[in-house]
Amino acid sequence: GENVEQHPSTLSVQEGDSAVIKCTYSDSASNYFPWYKQELGKGPQLIIDIRSNVGEKKDQRIAVTLNKTAKHFSLHITETQPEDSAVYFCAASKNSGGSNYKLTFGKGTLLTVNP
Amino acid sequence: NAGVMQNPRHLVRRRGQEARLRCSPMKGHSHVYWYRQLPEEGLKFMVYLQKENIIDESGMPKERFSAEFPKEGPSILRIQQVVRGDSAAYFCASSARQTNEKLFFGSGTQLSVL
């Protein structure tokens, strides 16, 4: 089955700096890659996603890049703010019966943005 | 609140008891998914249900675990004869249609087995 590795497990940055989280996946059939943000005591919240037919996607301060050949994808957060502090999860899935519902998650990155 | 609702938020059970976790999907969503998160691990898929149907239960342990999504009422994840290894956060997600992979997660139920 699919295996997703995520690095680093913890990341501490100063407010205003950029943060980068990287993930690799094993199944070349995976074609959907979402990123989730989980704040303490809450469920994961989808922040951005990318499909395998696209190499990069950007939404304000957040961007995701995908390298299908190398089977890795990354989350980039620019101009970080204290409210960006949370656990971030990457995930991968392949189409199953017309849907990508079966997500395989990485183990998460605890991002701390210091004021 | 139109989000995915899970209850209870915290559930404490002794070994051998039963645990029942409830999930009401977002309004208009008819697809429900259960995921389990062990300490310092990512979420792992358990089961996918539509109203009155189990679509994919490939992630469910073969014994003691069951799930349902009746015509009326919330989806239920049931764990019989709980053991300490069942202690985890259980998250429910919903989506509007099968082809919509954008899952919306609830706040989870933290199950603690004493």
Q: HEC string of chain A? A: CCCEEEECCEEEEECCCCEEEEEEECCCCCCEEEEEEECCCCCCEEEEEEECCCCEEEECCEEEEEECCCCEEEEEECCCCHHHCEEEEEEEECCECCECCCCEECCCEEEEEEC
pLDDT in tens, A14-68: 999 999 999 999 999 999 999 999 998 889 999 999 998 888 999 999 999 999 9
Among A34, A43, A97, select the one facing B108 at the smallest CB separation: A43
Token output for B106: 């609830």
Helix (H) or strand (E) holding B55: strand B53-56
Distance from CA of B99 to the nearest CA of A (A): 5
Query: Which residue of chain A comes nearest to B6, CA vs CA?
Result: A43
Token output for B29: 């969503």
Check whether the bond before B74 is cis (ω within 30° of 0): no
B82: Cα separation from own chain's centroid: 15
Among A6, A101, A107, select the one facing B101 at the smallest CB separation: A101
pLDDT in tens, B74-105: 999 999 999 999 999 999 999 887 656 688 99
pLDDT band for B28, please (50, 70, 90 cuts): confident
Task: Name residue B65's beta-bridge partners.
Answer: B79
Put simply, the answer to whether B48 touches A102 (Cβ < 8 Å) is yes
Query: Which residue of chain B comes nearest to A103, CA vs CA?
Result: B45
Cβ neighbours around A73 below 10 Å, total: 25
The confidence score (pLDDT) of residue B98 equals 62
Q: Are A13 and A84 spatial neighbours (Cβ–Cβ below 8 Å)?
A: no
Who wins on pLDDT, B97 or B17? B17
